[in-house]
């Protein structure tokens, strides 16, 4: 009896079986070795339509402003999960943050503004970053040691107590916060008060207000040639530390 056909059939069946098993193993390797790329855990369309959402404060995310907030500040108000962003640097964007009371750092009315403008003053930074900054010391060079205003008229009592923060910024030389420096005062072309533009423009020309406007609203009243564009803090506004009375 010729068994060649039987052997040939068994050989062909074995090859088919091996090919099938190999194909299955190959299929499994391709399927599980390289998983699909994940799409991520955030919504790529989750953005704010305006750039200053944080300055409106957390209250703007709720009624009666919720509809507006969903349309304009969806990411800030956390109505959706946006792409994670690198934390901002631990610096104060607003000049003179130390002139405010520390209440702006905790008061719900001001905390959003403080977080965006006075992060270092309010210590709204990681502990490690704050520790490194606390170890850093800044030495004023002679050219940086000056008084911004005529400090003598306030007297030495303005250098300590409740007015020390104000004096540190305005009367460094007079109060002895730096040992040497230029003798002339350096007048900056800026507004010391955030709401100067909200005053009647006549305060800039009325003689009885000149001393006050020259000290507080130089930029708005155009008392200097190199006029800087003032930055307006949105309402409600923070409360500054008290300024010493003149002697």
Instruction: Note whether residue 143 is domain-resident.
Output: yes
Residue-range definition of the domain harbouring residue 125: 90-137
Tokens for 62, please give them: 């709720």
Across 68-72, 99-103, 201-205, the highest mean pLDDT is recorded for 68-72
Which has the closest alpha carbon to 154: 174, 138, 129?
A: 174
Task: Read off the pLDDT of residues 149-196 as tens digits, 9 standing for 90 and up.
Answer: 777 777 888 888 778 778 888 888 888 887 654 444 445 677 888 888
Q: Which two tokens stand for residue 27?
A: 């299929």
Phi, psi of 100 (to 5 degrees): -90, 160
Same domain membership, residue 195 and residue 223: yes
Residue 175 shares a structural domain with residue 199 = no
Among 50-64, 141-155, 199-213, 220-234, which is the least confidently predicted range? 220-234
Give the separation between CA 181 and CA 127, rounded to whole angstroms: 35
Is 119 a member of any domain? yes
Residue 206 counted as domain residue: yes
What is the reported pLDDT for 211? 73
Q: Residue 4 falls within a domain, yes or no?
A: no
> Is residue 48 in some structural domain?
yes
pLDDT confidence of residue 143: 52
pLDDT band at 229 (very low <50, low <70, confident <90, very high): very low
């Amino acid at each position: 009896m010729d068994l060649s056909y039987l052997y040939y059939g068994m050989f062909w069946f074995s090859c088919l079986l091996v090919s099938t098993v190999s194909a299955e193993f190959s299929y499994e390797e391709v399927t599980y070795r390289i998983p699909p790329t994940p799409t991520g855990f955030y919504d790529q369309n989750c953005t704010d339509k305006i750039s200053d959402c944080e300055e409106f404060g957390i209250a703007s995310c709720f009624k009666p402003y919720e509809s507006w907030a969903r349309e304009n500040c969806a990411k800030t108000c956390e109505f959706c999960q946006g792409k994670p962003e690198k934390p901002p640097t631990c610096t104060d964007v607003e000049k003179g943050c130390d002139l405010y009371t520390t209440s702006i750092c905790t008061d719900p009315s001001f905390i959003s503004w403080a977080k965006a403008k006075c992060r270092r003053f309010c210590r709204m930074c990681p502990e490690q970053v704050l520790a490194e900054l606390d170890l850093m010391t800044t030495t004023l060079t002679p050219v940086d040691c000056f008084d911004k205003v005529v400090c003598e008229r306030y007297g030495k009592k303005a250098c300590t107590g409740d007015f020390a923060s104000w004096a540190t910024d305005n009367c460094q030389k007079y109060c002895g916060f730096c040992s040497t420096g230029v003798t002339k005062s350096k007048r900056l072309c800026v507004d010391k008060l955030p709401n100067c533009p909200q005053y009647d423009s006549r305060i800039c020309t009325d003689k009885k207000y000149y001393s006050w406007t020259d000290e507080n609203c130089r930029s708005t009243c155009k008392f200097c040639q190199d006029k800087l564009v003032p930055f307006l803090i949105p309402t409600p506004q923070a409360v500054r530390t008290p300024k010493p009375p003149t002697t």
